[in-house]
Structure formats: C-alpha cells, structure tokens
Amino acid sequence: MTSVTLDASIKATSAKSFEKTSSDRYSDTIRNARDIGQVRKNWTRLNLITTLSENEKEDWFSFTSFSKGKVRLSAVNLSDKSDEKTQEEQGESSATEALEAARNDYEKAIESFQGKGLRVEVYSYVNNRQVLLATNDEGNAKGFENFKNLMRGQYEIGKGTYYVHVSTEDGKPVKKDTLYALQVQMGDTFKEDYLTKETTVSHKGLTEGNLTYMAMTEEADEGRSSLSGNLLAAQSAASMLEAGYTSLADIQISKNTNSAAMLFSLLV
C-alpha cells in the first residue's frame, strides 16, 4: 500500500491534517466496514486511499454524518492506465489531482470506475434493513441518478451512518492490484482534513476455499479477542468494587487538553 498525503484545497489552506491507518480484511462485509471518520458540514473532509489487491472482490467502508445536508462523494480509480507508471507512482503523483478533478468532472470519474469493471454503492440501514441509496450501475436508474448527485455534491443525507461498498461488477476477483481513492465532504469548505491509509492483506494465489478459511479464522480471532476484552472489563469492575471508590475524580479518565489529539482519537 502506497503512502499518500492529500493536500488541502485552496479554500482550506490552513486546514489541520490528521492521519490514521486501517487494515484490509478477508471477511469483508457491511458488518465490519472500516470507519473513515465523521463528516461535519464545512468542518471536516474525509479521505481514503486503498487497494483492491489481486484476487480480491470487495471492500466495505463507513462514515458518520452528524447533521443533515448535501454531501459529495468523490470516487477515483488510480490504478495504472498505462505501462508508463507503476501504481505507486500513479498514486503518489496524482491522488490529490484526481480527486480534485472528480469534483469538476464527475462523469469522467464514474466512467473510470466503470471502465475498470468496478462497482461503487452507498448504503444505509432503515428499520434494520440494508438499503441501497446510490450506485454507479446505469442499470439501476434511480440509484445511478443518486450516485451522480453524490458525485456532484447535490445528494442530501441526514444524521446516521452510511456505508460505501467498492466491488467488481461481475463478482470475480480483480486480476491485478487496483488502487483507488474516496473523498467525502459536506459543504464548500473544511477546517480539518482526515486521511485513512489502508494496508492490504494478500489475496494473491489463494483459492476460494483458502479465502473462506482465512475469513473464518479472522472472525474467530475477533471473537476470542472480544471475549478476552469482556473478561478484562469484568475483572476491572470487580477490582474497583472491592477497593471501593470515594471520589469520582479518581476513576475518571483525565481530559486531553490537546484538542487536535482529541479529534483524531475519535477516528481511531
């Protein structure tokens, strides 16, 4: 995974920048979508750069909105379009420019994804049901219109969590690493710029059975980790009760006076 820094636009030259990392998964579903941050009108901009690695089919990501407003999703395919540049060079030299260009020419950005056989979908949960809001699939007239409005920054959302699904159109694994970037912004400007850089897990050479096994192992490990965490929490609570506590201040987590660190901690 290449490391890319996305620069602030002219409207936010003094924006504070924050970065975090996440890791790709074998068990990639909407239930374990990787969080890329919280979108706030005229305050935050969320960026992600990642790769559908060779033999991989899909990625899931999520973001949370704390207000109602029109949101823009810029989605660009950064995978090598020629033999002149490696994907790493392509990403490092043009991630910012490609996302900026997508804001001005969303039709071209949509075509880029479709040209590589990639599907981009946006979902929400309504009454505990997964609902497709937008897609770059022209066969879905309403979803495609919503997707174009998203790309041009004219699609209105409310408070809640939204899920972005990037996958192959035919459900078959990509034949080579495909680098892409997403950007989410509400409003015309921002004060804080967040970048999620994702490390990949190798899918190369793995059969469908291998991938299923890896996904099951991953989920089992998480289950054990969750159980261990619950046991530790229970032990901690028991210790507190045994010792007794007379002052709430003694058990409160001290507040971090560094506001930037506090804001970044929300994303981790």
In this structure, which amino acid lies at residue 234? A
Residue 94 has pLDDT above 50, yes or no: yes
CATH of domain 10-203: 2.60.120.380
CB 181 within 8 A of CB 71: no
Question: Strands 178-186 and 44-52: what pairing?
Answer: antiparallel
Q: Which of 120, 99, 91, 251 is nearest to 179 (CA)?
A: 91
Q: Which two tokens stand for residue 181?
A: 């970037």
Q: What are the extents of the domains in the chain? A: 10-203, 207-241
Q: What is the DSSP letter of 13?
A: T
Predicted local distance difference test score (pLDDT) of residue 252: 45
CA angle (109, 64, 198) in 5-degree steps: 60
Strands (E), 78-159: 118-126, 129-135, 155-157
Using CA atoms, how far apart are residues 188 and 25, in angstroms rounded to an integer? 33
Question: Strands 129-135 and 118-126: what pairing?
Answer: antiparallel
Sign of the torsion angle spanned by Cα atoms 42, 43, 46, 47: positive
Question: Strands 16-23 and 160-168: what pairing?
Answer: unpaired
Predicted local distance difference test score (pLDDT) of residue 155: 97
Using CA atoms, how far apart are residues 134 and 106, in angstroms rounded to an integer? 14
Give the mean pLDDT of the chain: 78
CA angle (209, 211, 214) in 5-degree steps: 110
Expressed in angstroms, the distance from the first to the final Cα of the chain is: 19
Non-local (6+) Cβ contacts of 190 within 8 A are 8, 11, 12, 15, 42, 43, 44, 45
Mean pLDDT on 172-182: 93
Q: How many CA atoms lie within 13 A of 96 on its CB side?
A: 12
Predicted local distance difference test score (pLDDT) of residue 139: 95
pLDDT category at 11 given cuts 50, 70, 90 is low
Q: Which of 92, 96, 2 is nearest to 45 (CA)?
A: 96
In terms of pLDDT, which residue wins out, 240 or 112? 112
Per-residue pLDDT tens digits for 32-50: 999 999 999 999 999 999 9
CB 30 within 8 A of CB 152: no
CB 147 within 8 A of CB 132: no
In a 3-state reduction of DSSP, which class is residue 257?
Answer: coil
In a 3-state reduction of DSSP, which class is residue 250?
Answer: helix
Task: Write down the pTM of the prediction.
Answer: 0.74
